[in-house]
Structure 1
Protein backbone atom coordinates (compact mmCIF):
# COMPACT_ATOMS: atom_id res chain seq x y z
CA UNK A 1 0.00 0.00 0.00
CA UNK A 2 2.42 2.72 -1.13
CA UNK A 3 1.46 6.21 -0.02
CA UNK A 4 0.34 8.44 -2.92
CA UNK A 5 1.64 11.47 -1.00
CA UNK A 6 5.25 10.38 -1.51
CA UNK A 7 4.72 9.71 -5.22
CA UNK A 8 3.01 13.07 -5.77
CA UNK A 9 5.72 14.94 -3.86
CA UNK A 10 8.54 13.24 -5.75
CA UNK A 11 6.95 13.88 -9.15
CA UNK A 12 6.15 17.47 -8.19
CA UNK A 13 9.81 17.98 -7.26
CA UNK A 14 10.89 16.53 -10.61
CA UNK A 15 8.65 19.07 -12.41
CA UNK A 16 9.69 22.05 -10.29
CA UNK A 17 11.29 24.78 -12.38
CA UNK A 18 10.76 27.83 -10.19
CA UNK A 19 10.53 28.33 -6.43
CA UNK A 20 8.62 31.32 -5.08
CA UNK A 21 9.04 33.24 -8.33
CA UNK A 22 12.78 32.58 -8.59
CA UNK A 23 14.39 30.12 -10.97
CA UNK A 24 15.24 26.82 -9.27
CA UNK A 25 18.85 25.67 -9.47
CA UNK A 26 18.49 21.93 -9.08
CA UNK A 27 18.74 19.50 -11.98
CA UNK A 28 18.14 15.85 -12.80
CA UNK A 29 21.02 14.58 -10.68
CA UNK A 30 19.82 16.41 -7.58
CA UNK A 31 16.23 15.19 -8.11
CA UNK A 32 17.39 11.57 -8.32
CA UNK A 33 19.71 11.98 -5.32
CA UNK A 34 16.98 13.47 -3.14
CA UNK A 35 14.44 10.80 -4.12
CA UNK A 36 16.94 7.99 -3.47
CA UNK A 37 17.81 9.44 -0.05
CA UNK A 38 14.14 9.93 0.85
CA UNK A 39 13.24 6.41 -0.31
CA UNK A 40 16.05 4.86 1.74
CA UNK A 41 15.04 6.93 4.77
CA UNK A 42 11.48 5.68 4.33
CA UNK A 43 12.70 2.08 4.58
CA UNK A 44 14.32 2.60 7.97
CA UNK A 45 11.13 2.48 10.03
CA UNK A 46 9.67 -0.68 8.38
CA UNK A 47 12.99 -2.48 8.67
CA UNK A 48 13.32 -1.43 12.32
CA UNK A 49 9.83 -2.79 13.04
CA UNK A 50 10.55 -6.03 11.20
CA UNK A 51 8.01 -5.31 8.45
CA UNK A 52 8.63 -6.58 4.93
CA UNK A 53 9.83 -4.05 2.36
CA UNK A 54 9.77 -4.16 -1.42
CA UNK A 55 13.05 -3.00 -2.97
CA UNK A 56 11.47 -3.31 -6.39
CA UNK A 57 8.91 -0.63 -5.55
CA UNK A 58 11.66 1.70 -4.33
CA UNK A 59 13.63 1.19 -7.53
CA UNK A 60 10.50 1.79 -9.59
CA UNK A 61 9.82 5.08 -7.85
CA UNK A 62 13.39 6.29 -8.42
CA UNK A 63 13.31 5.32 -12.11
CA UNK A 64 9.87 6.87 -12.60
CA UNK A 65 10.89 10.18 -11.04
CA UNK A 66 14.17 10.15 -12.99
CA UNK A 67 12.22 9.69 -16.23
CA UNK A 68 9.97 12.68 -15.45
CA UNK A 69 12.96 14.81 -14.44
CA UNK A 70 14.90 13.94 -17.61
CA UNK A 71 11.89 14.90 -19.75
CA UNK A 72 11.36 18.23 -17.93
CA UNK A 73 14.49 19.69 -16.36
CA UNK A 74 16.77 19.98 -19.44
CA UNK A 75 13.99 21.60 -21.49
CA UNK A 76 13.20 24.01 -18.69
CA UNK A 77 16.80 25.01 -18.01
CA UNK A 78 17.50 25.69 -21.70
CA UNK A 79 14.29 27.70 -22.10
CA UNK A 80 12.73 25.25 -24.52
CA UNK A 81 9.54 24.86 -22.49
CA UNK A 82 8.99 28.60 -22.11
CA UNK A 83 9.49 29.23 -25.82
CA UNK A 84 7.25 26.33 -26.89
CA UNK A 85 4.45 26.41 -24.29
CA UNK A 86 4.84 29.67 -22.39
CA UNK A 87 3.46 29.75 -18.86
CA UNK A 88 -0.23 29.23 -19.56
CA UNK A 89 -2.56 26.26 -20.09
CA UNK A 90 -0.33 24.74 -22.76
CA UNK A 91 2.37 24.20 -20.14
CA UNK A 92 -0.15 22.53 -17.83
CA UNK A 93 -1.20 20.26 -20.68
CA UNK A 94 2.42 19.33 -21.35
CA UNK A 95 3.00 18.51 -17.68
CA UNK A 96 -0.13 16.36 -17.50
CA UNK A 97 0.81 14.53 -20.70
CA UNK A 98 4.32 13.95 -19.37
CA UNK A 99 3.01 12.49 -16.11
CA UNK A 100 0.52 10.31 -18.00
CA UNK A 101 3.42 8.91 -20.02
CA UNK A 102 5.40 8.49 -16.81
CA UNK A 103 2.53 6.55 -15.23
CA UNK A 104 2.34 4.25 -18.25
CA UNK A 105 6.08 3.60 -18.09
CA UNK A 106 5.78 2.85 -14.39
CA UNK A 107 2.99 0.34 -15.07
CA UNK A 108 5.06 -1.36 -17.77
CA UNK A 109 8.03 -1.59 -15.42
CA UNK A 110 5.92 -2.86 -12.52
CA UNK A 111 4.42 -5.60 -14.69
CA UNK A 112 7.88 -6.59 -15.92
CA UNK A 113 9.19 -6.86 -12.35
CA UNK A 114 6.16 -8.94 -11.32
CA UNK A 115 6.68 -11.16 -14.35
CA UNK A 116 10.32 -11.73 -13.42
CA UNK A 117 9.41 -12.43 -9.80
CA UNK A 118 6.43 -14.75 -10.31
CA UNK A 119 6.65 -16.05 -13.88
CA UNK A 120 2.98 -15.16 -14.47
CA UNK A 121 1.82 -14.01 -17.95
CA UNK A 122 2.78 -10.42 -18.67
CA UNK A 123 -0.51 -9.30 -20.25
CA UNK A 124 -2.76 -9.78 -17.19
CA UNK A 125 -0.09 -8.29 -14.92
CA UNK A 126 0.08 -5.16 -17.08
CA UNK A 127 -3.70 -4.92 -17.14
CA UNK A 128 -3.83 -5.05 -13.35
CA UNK A 129 -1.21 -2.30 -13.16
CA UNK A 130 -3.11 -0.10 -15.61
CA UNK A 131 -6.47 -0.50 -13.88
CA UNK A 132 -5.80 1.92 -10.95
CA UNK A 133 -4.40 4.69 -13.19
CA UNK A 134 -7.72 6.44 -13.97
CA UNK A 135 -8.47 6.62 -10.24
CA UNK A 136 -5.67 7.13 -7.76
CA UNK A 137 -3.13 7.52 -10.56
CA UNK A 138 -4.97 10.56 -11.90
CA UNK A 139 -5.13 12.06 -8.40
CA UNK A 140 -1.38 11.61 -7.91
CA UNK A 141 -0.50 13.13 -11.30
CA UNK A 142 -2.88 16.07 -10.91
CA UNK A 143 -1.60 16.82 -7.41
CA UNK A 144 2.02 16.67 -8.61
CA UNK A 145 1.29 19.24 -11.32
CA UNK A 146 -0.60 21.50 -8.90
CA UNK A 147 2.26 21.23 -6.40
CA UNK A 148 4.89 22.16 -8.99
CA UNK A 149 2.92 25.13 -10.33
CA UNK A 150 1.84 26.41 -6.90
CA UNK A 151 5.30 26.16 -5.34
CA UNK A 152 6.81 27.95 -8.33
CA UNK A 153 4.69 31.01 -7.44
CA UNK A 154 3.90 30.85 -3.71
CA UNK A 155 6.83 28.95 -2.22
CA UNK A 156 6.75 25.81 -0.07
CA UNK A 157 3.95 26.66 2.36
CA UNK A 158 1.06 25.25 0.15
CA UNK A 159 2.65 21.77 0.02
CA UNK A 160 1.04 20.46 3.28
CA UNK A 161 -2.34 21.79 2.18
CA UNK A 162 -2.08 20.08 -1.20
CA UNK A 163 -1.11 16.80 0.50
CA UNK A 164 -4.31 16.65 2.58
CA UNK A 165 -6.54 15.15 -0.18
CA UNK A 166 -3.98 12.42 -0.82
CA UNK A 167 -3.75 11.66 2.87
CA UNK A 168 -7.53 11.20 2.92
CA UNK A 169 -7.29 8.92 -0.12
CA UNK A 170 -4.63 6.85 1.62
CA UNK A 171 -6.69 6.61 4.82
CA UNK A 172 -9.79 5.56 2.89
CA UNK A 173 -7.83 2.97 0.93
CA UNK A 174 -6.37 1.46 4.09
CA UNK A 175 -9.85 1.23 5.61
CA UNK A 176 -11.13 -0.45 2.46
CA UNK A 177 -8.19 -2.88 2.44
CA UNK A 178 -8.88 -3.72 6.09
CA UNK A 179 -12.53 -4.44 5.33
CA UNK A 180 -11.57 -6.65 2.40
CA UNK A 181 -9.13 -8.58 4.58
CA UNK A 182 -11.79 -9.12 7.25
CA UNK A 183 -14.27 -10.20 4.58
CA UNK A 184 -11.85 -12.76 3.21
CA UNK A 185 -11.10 -14.08 6.70
CA UNK A 186 -14.83 -14.53 7.27
CA UNK A 187 -15.17 -16.54 4.05
CA UNK A 188 -12.11 -18.64 4.95
CA UNK A 189 -13.59 -19.36 8.40
CA UNK A 190 -16.89 -20.39 6.81
CA UNK A 191 -15.03 -22.64 4.39
CA UNK A 192 -13.33 -24.41 7.30
CA UNK A 193 -16.73 -25.55 8.62
CA UNK A 194 -16.55 -28.65 6.42
CA UNK A 195 -13.09 -29.44 7.80
CA UNK A 196 -14.17 -28.95 11.41
CA UNK A 197 -17.22 -31.15 10.83
CA UNK A 198 -14.98 -33.88 9.39
CA UNK A 199 -16.38 -33.78 5.85
CA UNK A 200 -13.17 -32.69 4.11
CA UNK A 201 -9.45 -33.03 4.96
CA UNK A 202 -7.79 -30.20 6.82
CA UNK A 203 -6.40 -27.55 4.50
CA UNK A 204 -8.17 -28.88 1.42
CA UNK A 205 -10.19 -25.72 0.70
CA UNK A 206 -7.16 -23.48 1.09
CA UNK A 207 -5.07 -25.74 -1.17
CA UNK A 208 -7.73 -25.61 -3.89
CA UNK A 209 -8.00 -21.82 -3.52
CA UNK A 210 -4.24 -21.23 -3.78
CA UNK A 211 -3.74 -23.58 -6.72
CA UNK A 212 -6.93 -22.40 -8.43
CA UNK A 213 -5.82 -18.78 -8.19
CA UNK A 214 -2.48 -19.70 -9.76
CA UNK A 215 -4.25 -21.47 -12.63
CA UNK A 216 -6.57 -18.49 -13.09
CA UNK A 217 -3.56 -16.19 -13.24
CA UNK A 218 -1.97 -18.48 -15.83
CA UNK A 219 -5.15 -18.24 -17.93
CA UNK A 220 -5.12 -14.43 -17.78
CA UNK A 221 -7.95 -13.68 -15.35
CA UNK A 222 -8.02 -10.15 -13.98
CA UNK A 223 -7.58 -9.45 -10.27
CA UNK A 224 -11.33 -9.03 -9.51
CA UNK A 225 -12.12 -12.31 -11.28
CA UNK A 226 -9.29 -14.01 -9.40
CA UNK A 227 -10.84 -12.84 -6.13
CA UNK A 228 -14.21 -14.32 -7.11
CA UNK A 229 -12.45 -17.55 -8.12
CA UNK A 230 -10.66 -17.69 -4.77
CA UNK A 231 -13.90 -17.22 -2.81
CA UNK A 232 -15.63 -19.96 -4.83
CA UNK A 233 -12.68 -22.33 -4.38
CA UNK A 234 -12.71 -21.77 -0.62
CA UNK A 235 -16.41 -22.66 -0.39
CA UNK A 236 -16.68 -25.24 -3.16
CA UNK A 237 -17.29 -28.15 -0.72
CA UNK A 238 -19.73 -26.41 1.61
CA UNK A 239 -22.64 -28.38 0.11
CA UNK A 240 -21.27 -31.52 1.78
CA UNK A 241 -22.69 -30.25 5.07
CA UNK A 242 -26.09 -31.43 3.80
CA UNK A 243 -24.93 -35.06 3.69
CA UNK A 244 -25.94 -37.41 6.47
CA UNK A 245 -22.73 -39.40 6.14
CA UNK A 246 -19.44 -37.79 5.06
CA UNK A 247 -17.92 -38.85 1.76
CA UNK A 248 -14.71 -40.85 2.32
CA UNK A 249 -11.82 -38.34 2.46
CA UNK A 250 -14.24 -35.64 1.26
CA UNK A 251 -13.66 -36.73 -2.35
CA UNK A 252 -16.71 -35.89 -4.49
CA UNK A 253 -15.25 -36.79 -7.90
CA UNK A 254 -15.93 -40.57 -7.53
CA UNK A 255 -19.62 -39.89 -6.74
CA UNK A 256 -22.31 -40.26 -9.42
CA UNK A 257 -22.88 -37.16 -11.53
CA UNK A 258 -26.37 -36.62 -10.11
CA UNK A 259 -25.05 -36.68 -6.53
CA UNK A 260 -22.24 -34.29 -7.42
CA UNK A 261 -24.75 -31.89 -8.95
CA UNK A 262 -27.05 -32.11 -5.92
CA UNK A 263 -24.19 -31.28 -3.54
CA UNK A 264 -23.12 -28.40 -5.76
CA UNK A 265 -26.65 -26.95 -5.87
CA UNK A 266 -26.98 -27.22 -2.09
CA UNK A 267 -23.59 -25.53 -1.72
CA UNK A 268 -24.67 -22.69 -3.98
CA UNK A 269 -27.82 -22.19 -1.92
CA UNK A 270 -25.71 -21.91 1.24
CA UNK A 271 -23.26 -19.50 -0.40
CA UNK A 272 -26.11 -17.21 -1.46
CA UNK A 273 -27.01 -16.75 2.19
CA UNK A 274 -23.53 -15.48 3.10
CA UNK A 275 -23.75 -12.18 1.22
CA UNK A 276 -20.87 -12.87 -1.18
CA UNK A 277 -21.28 -11.84 -4.84
CA UNK A 278 -23.85 -13.90 -6.76
CA UNK A 279 -21.11 -14.94 -9.20
CA UNK A 280 -19.43 -16.92 -6.40
CA UNK A 281 -22.61 -18.91 -5.75
CA UNK A 282 -23.01 -19.52 -9.48
CA UNK A 283 -19.52 -21.00 -9.70
CA UNK A 284 -20.19 -23.31 -6.74
CA UNK A 285 -23.49 -24.44 -8.30
CA UNK A 286 -22.04 -25.10 -11.74
CA UNK A 287 -18.85 -26.92 -10.73
CA UNK A 288 -20.42 -30.36 -11.33
CA UNK A 289 -21.84 -29.57 -14.79
CA UNK A 290 -20.18 -30.66 -18.05
CA UNK A 291 -17.33 -28.23 -18.60
CA UNK A 292 -18.73 -26.83 -21.86
CA UNK A 293 -21.71 -25.51 -19.86
CA UNK A 294 -19.57 -24.02 -17.06
CA UNK A 295 -18.06 -20.57 -16.67
CA UNK A 296 -14.27 -20.58 -16.73
CA UNK A 297 -13.93 -20.18 -12.96
CA UNK A 298 -16.11 -23.26 -12.36
CA UNK A 299 -13.94 -25.26 -14.79
CA UNK A 300 -10.86 -24.23 -12.82
CA UNK A 301 -12.39 -25.12 -9.45
CA UNK A 302 -13.48 -28.55 -10.66
CA UNK A 303 -10.16 -29.46 -12.27
CA UNK A 304 -8.07 -28.27 -9.32
CA UNK A 305 -10.37 -29.96 -6.81
CA UNK A 306 -10.14 -33.24 -8.71
CA UNK A 307 -6.37 -32.96 -8.89
CA UNK A 308 -5.96 -32.36 -5.14
CA UNK A 309 -8.30 -35.24 -4.35
CA UNK A 310 -6.35 -37.59 -6.63
CA UNK A 311 -2.99 -36.54 -5.21
CA UNK A 312 -3.89 -36.59 -1.53
CA UNK A 313 -6.64 -39.18 -1.48
CA UNK A 314 -6.36 -42.86 -0.58
CA UNK A 315 -5.90 -43.73 -4.26
CA UNK A 316 -2.60 -41.86 -4.44
CA UNK A 317 0.35 -44.19 -4.51
CA UNK A 318 4.12 -43.90 -4.53
CA UNK A 319 6.23 -40.79 -4.59
CA UNK A 320 4.49 -37.39 -4.64
CA UNK A 321 5.86 -36.55 -8.09
CA UNK A 322 4.60 -39.83 -9.51
CA UNK A 323 1.19 -39.28 -7.92
CA UNK A 324 1.01 -35.81 -9.47
CA UNK A 325 1.82 -37.17 -12.94
CA UNK A 326 -0.77 -39.92 -12.55
CA UNK A 327 -3.38 -37.39 -11.42
CA UNK A 328 -2.70 -35.12 -14.40
CA UNK A 329 -2.91 -38.10 -16.75
CA UNK A 330 -6.32 -39.04 -15.32
CA UNK A 331 -7.53 -35.47 -15.80
CA UNK A 332 -6.31 -35.46 -19.41
CA UNK A 333 -8.14 -38.73 -20.10
CA UNK A 334 -11.38 -37.14 -18.85
CA UNK A 335 -11.19 -33.97 -20.95
CA UNK A 336 -13.84 -35.21 -23.35
CA UNK A 337 -16.65 -34.18 -20.99
CA UNK A 338 -15.59 -33.52 -17.41
CA UNK A 339 -12.53 -31.24 -17.56
CA UNK A 340 -11.55 -28.41 -19.87
CA UNK A 341 -8.29 -29.40 -21.64
CA UNK A 342 -7.11 -25.78 -21.60
CA UNK A 343 -7.53 -25.63 -17.81
CA UNK A 344 -5.79 -28.99 -17.36
CA UNK A 345 -2.79 -27.84 -19.38
CA UNK A 346 -2.67 -24.56 -17.44
CA UNK A 347 -2.70 -26.61 -14.23
CA UNK A 348 0.18 -28.72 -15.55
CA UNK A 349 2.13 -25.54 -16.38
CA UNK A 350 1.61 -24.15 -12.88
CA UNK A 351 2.66 -27.41 -11.25
CA UNK A 352 5.77 -27.70 -13.40
CA UNK A 353 6.72 -24.11 -12.53
CA UNK A 354 6.33 -24.83 -8.83
CA UNK A 355 8.49 -27.95 -9.07
CA UNK A 356 11.16 -26.03 -10.98
CA UNK A 357 11.06 -23.19 -8.44
CA UNK A 358 11.56 -25.60 -5.54
CA UNK A 359 14.51 -27.28 -7.28
CA UNK A 360 16.10 -23.94 -8.08
Structure 2
Protein backbone atom coordinates (compact mmCIF):
# COMPACT_ATOMS: atom_id res chain seq x y z
CA UNK A 1 0.00 0.00 0.00
CA UNK A 2 1.57 3.26 -1.22
CA UNK A 3 -0.04 5.46 1.48
CA UNK A 4 1.26 3.26 4.30
CA UNK A 5 4.71 3.21 2.72
CA UNK A 6 4.73 7.02 2.41
CA UNK A 7 3.59 7.39 6.05
CA UNK A 8 6.32 4.99 7.13
CA UNK A 9 9.01 6.96 5.26
CA UNK A 10 7.70 10.26 6.63
CA UNK A 11 7.74 8.85 10.18
CA UNK A 12 11.33 7.65 9.82
CA UNK A 13 12.35 11.07 8.46
CA UNK A 14 10.59 12.89 11.30
CA UNK A 15 12.31 10.72 13.92
CA UNK A 16 15.70 11.38 12.29
CA UNK A 17 15.01 15.13 12.35
CA UNK A 18 14.16 14.90 16.07
CA UNK A 19 17.71 13.70 16.77
CA UNK A 20 19.22 16.52 14.73
CA UNK A 21 17.09 19.09 16.57
CA UNK A 22 18.71 18.02 19.85
CA UNK A 23 22.28 17.81 18.55
CA UNK A 24 23.11 20.47 15.97
CA UNK A 25 26.51 18.85 15.34
CA UNK A 26 24.63 15.87 13.96
CA UNK A 27 22.83 17.92 11.32
CA UNK A 28 22.96 15.92 8.09
CA UNK A 29 24.87 13.04 9.74
CA UNK A 30 22.03 10.50 9.49
CA UNK A 31 21.35 11.32 5.82
CA UNK A 32 25.04 11.07 4.90
CA UNK A 33 25.39 7.76 6.76
CA UNK A 34 22.22 6.52 5.06
CA UNK A 35 23.56 7.37 1.59
CA UNK A 36 26.89 5.72 2.42
CA UNK A 37 25.30 2.48 3.68
CA UNK A 38 23.13 2.18 0.57
CA UNK A 39 26.19 2.55 -1.68
CA UNK A 40 28.14 0.00 0.35
CA UNK A 41 25.23 -2.43 0.57
CA UNK A 42 24.88 -2.38 -3.22
CA UNK A 43 28.62 -3.03 -3.59
CA UNK A 44 28.15 -6.11 -1.40
CA UNK A 45 25.06 -7.13 -3.45
CA UNK A 46 22.74 -7.13 -0.44
CA UNK A 47 19.06 -7.73 -1.21
CA UNK A 48 16.52 -4.88 -1.43
CA UNK A 49 14.90 -5.63 1.92
CA UNK A 50 18.24 -5.61 3.76
CA UNK A 51 19.22 -2.36 2.03
CA UNK A 52 15.93 -0.78 3.11
CA UNK A 53 16.41 -1.93 6.73
CA UNK A 54 19.99 -0.65 6.68
CA UNK A 55 18.91 2.69 5.24
CA UNK A 56 16.32 3.13 8.01
CA UNK A 57 18.82 2.07 10.67
CA UNK A 58 21.30 4.63 9.36
CA UNK A 59 18.68 7.36 9.60
CA UNK A 60 17.76 6.32 13.15
CA UNK A 61 21.01 4.97 14.61
CA UNK A 62 21.45 7.93 16.97
CA UNK A 63 17.79 8.34 17.97
CA UNK A 64 18.71 7.27 21.51
CA UNK A 65 20.64 10.53 21.90
CA UNK A 66 17.24 12.07 22.61
CA UNK A 67 17.62 10.48 26.06
CA UNK A 68 21.11 11.88 26.72
CA UNK A 69 21.56 15.13 28.66
CA UNK A 70 22.58 18.12 26.53
CA UNK A 71 25.55 18.89 28.78
CA UNK A 72 27.00 15.47 27.90
CA UNK A 73 25.94 15.42 24.26
CA UNK A 74 27.32 18.88 23.49
CA UNK A 75 30.34 18.88 25.82
CA UNK A 76 33.43 20.41 24.21
CA UNK A 77 36.00 18.67 26.44
CA UNK A 78 36.66 15.00 27.14
CA UNK A 79 33.87 13.04 28.79
CA UNK A 80 34.39 11.66 32.29
CA UNK A 81 33.99 7.90 32.82
CA UNK A 82 30.45 8.49 34.14
CA UNK A 83 29.56 10.70 31.16
CA UNK A 84 30.91 8.07 28.74
CA UNK A 85 28.76 5.49 30.50
CA UNK A 86 25.72 7.75 30.04
CA UNK A 87 26.59 8.35 26.36
CA UNK A 88 26.94 4.61 25.77
CA UNK A 89 23.29 4.23 26.82
CA UNK A 90 22.13 5.92 23.60
CA UNK A 91 22.32 2.64 21.68
CA UNK A 92 19.99 0.86 24.13
CA UNK A 93 17.71 3.90 24.46
CA UNK A 94 17.44 3.93 20.66
CA UNK A 95 16.51 0.27 20.56
CA UNK A 96 13.90 0.83 23.28
CA UNK A 97 12.33 3.71 21.34
CA UNK A 98 12.04 1.60 18.18
CA UNK A 99 11.23 -1.85 19.64
CA UNK A 100 7.49 -1.22 20.16
CA UNK A 101 7.16 -0.63 16.40
CA UNK A 102 6.97 -4.22 15.14
CA UNK A 103 7.98 -3.34 11.57
CA UNK A 104 11.22 -1.78 12.92
CA UNK A 105 12.46 -4.86 14.84
CA UNK A 106 15.43 -5.42 12.49
CA UNK A 107 16.18 -1.69 12.45
CA UNK A 108 16.10 -1.67 16.28
CA UNK A 109 18.68 -4.51 16.33
CA UNK A 110 21.08 -2.50 14.15
CA UNK A 111 20.50 0.65 16.21
CA UNK A 112 21.30 -1.25 19.44
CA UNK A 113 24.55 -2.61 18.02
CA UNK A 114 25.92 0.27 15.92
CA UNK A 115 28.71 0.90 18.47
CA UNK A 116 30.01 -2.67 18.51
CA UNK A 117 33.57 -3.37 17.35
CA UNK A 118 35.20 -6.11 15.31
CA UNK A 119 37.36 -7.10 18.32
CA UNK A 120 34.38 -7.46 20.67
CA UNK A 121 35.23 -4.40 22.78
CA UNK A 122 32.36 -2.21 21.61
CA UNK A 123 29.03 -1.66 23.33
CA UNK A 124 26.44 -2.51 24.52
CA UNK A 125 26.93 -6.28 24.14
CA UNK A 126 30.56 -6.73 23.11
CA UNK A 127 29.71 -8.55 19.87
CA UNK A 128 32.68 -9.75 17.83
CA UNK A 129 32.93 -9.44 14.07
CA UNK A 130 31.96 -13.10 13.73
CA UNK A 131 28.70 -12.41 15.58
CA UNK A 132 27.74 -9.39 13.48
CA UNK A 133 25.74 -9.49 10.27
CA UNK A 134 27.30 -7.75 7.26
CA UNK A 135 24.64 -5.00 7.40
CA UNK A 136 25.81 -4.05 10.90
CA UNK A 137 29.47 -4.00 9.84
CA UNK A 138 28.51 -1.65 7.00
CA UNK A 139 26.60 0.67 9.35
CA UNK A 140 29.52 0.81 11.79
CA UNK A 141 32.02 1.84 9.09
CA UNK A 142 29.68 4.37 7.45
CA UNK A 143 28.85 5.95 10.82
CA UNK A 144 32.52 6.19 11.81
CA UNK A 145 33.53 7.63 8.42
CA UNK A 146 30.96 10.40 8.63
CA UNK A 147 31.73 11.13 12.29
CA UNK A 148 35.43 11.46 11.48
CA UNK A 149 34.85 13.76 8.49
CA UNK A 150 32.42 16.03 10.39
CA UNK A 151 32.99 18.70 13.03
CA UNK A 152 32.11 17.58 16.55
CA UNK A 153 31.70 19.65 19.74
CA UNK A 154 35.09 18.38 20.97
CA UNK A 155 37.12 18.43 17.69
CA UNK A 156 37.30 19.64 14.12
CA UNK A 157 36.61 17.31 11.19
CA UNK A 158 39.46 15.13 9.97
CA UNK A 159 40.58 15.39 6.36
CA UNK A 160 39.70 12.51 4.03
CA UNK A 161 43.35 11.48 4.13
CA UNK A 162 43.40 11.43 7.96
CA UNK A 163 40.12 9.52 7.98
CA UNK A 164 41.46 6.91 5.56
CA UNK A 165 44.54 6.47 7.77
CA UNK A 166 42.35 6.09 10.87
CA UNK A 167 40.03 3.53 9.25
CA UNK A 168 43.00 1.49 8.04
CA UNK A 169 44.69 1.74 11.46
CA UNK A 170 41.62 0.28 13.17
CA UNK A 171 40.66 -2.16 10.42
CA UNK A 172 40.27 -5.58 12.05
CA UNK A 173 40.15 -3.93 15.49
CA UNK A 174 37.07 -1.69 15.43
CA UNK A 175 36.04 -2.15 11.81
CA UNK A 176 35.57 -5.05 9.43
CA UNK A 177 38.57 -5.06 7.03
CA UNK A 178 36.56 -5.92 3.90
CA UNK A 179 33.99 -3.18 4.57
CA UNK A 180 36.80 -0.66 5.18
CA UNK A 181 38.48 -1.70 1.93
CA UNK A 182 35.29 -1.34 -0.12
CA UNK A 183 34.33 1.91 1.61
CA UNK A 184 37.69 3.55 0.95
CA UNK A 185 37.57 2.49 -2.69
CA UNK A 186 34.28 4.41 -3.05
CA UNK A 187 35.19 7.72 -1.36
Unpaired stretches in structure 2, ≥5 consecutive residues: 119-128
- Alignment CA distance shift 1:290-1:258 (3 Å): farther
Aligned counterpart, 1:268: 95
- Alignment CA distance shift 1:204-1:178 (3 Å): same
State whether residues 237 and 267 of structure 1, in contact with CA within 8 Å, keep that contact through their aligned partners in structure 2: yes
For the pair shown, which has the larger CA radius of gyration, 1 or 2? 1
Give the superposed CA RMSD.
2.4
Supply the distance in 1 between the matched residues of 2:24 and 2:68 (Cα, whole angstroms). Answer: 9
Q: Does 1:279 align with 2:117?
A: no
- Alignment CA distance shift 1:258-1:288 (3 Å): farther
Aligned counterpart, 1:181: 6
Tell which has more relative contact order, 1 or 2 (C-alpha 8 A, sep 6+).
2
State whether residues 37 and 54 of structure 2, in contact with CA within 8 Å, keep that contact through their aligned partners in structure 1: yes
Local SS of the residue matching 1:193: helix
- Alignment CA distance shift 1:257-1:288 (3 Å): farther
Aligned counterpart, 1:320: none
Aligned counterpart, 2:73: 247
- In the superposition, the TM-score normalised over structure 2's length comes to 0.79
State whether residues 261 and 285 of structure 1, in contact with CA within 8 Å, keep that contact through their aligned partners in structure 2: no
Task: Number of aligned residue pairs: give it.
Answer: 167
More helix by share: 1
Residues 131-280 of structure 1: matches in 2 within 5 Å? Answer: 176-198=1-23, 200-245=25-70, 246-248=72-74, 261-280=88-107
- Alignment CA distance shift 1:205-1:249 (3 Å): farther
Local SS of the residue matching 1:194: helix
Q: Deviation digits for residues 228-250 of structure 1, max 9, x if unmatched?
A: 00010000001111111252489
Aligned counterpart, 2:173: 337
Residues 55-94 of structure 1: matches in 2 within 5 Å? Answer: none
Local SS of the residue matching 2:137: helix
Of 156, 159, 176 in structure 2, the residue corresponding to residue 315 of structure 1 is 156
Report deviation, 1:260: 5.7
Supply the distance in 2 between the matched residues of 1:257 and 1:227 (Cα, whole angstroms). Answer: 31
Unpaired stretches in structure 1, ≥5 consecutive residues: 1-175, 318-322, 352-360
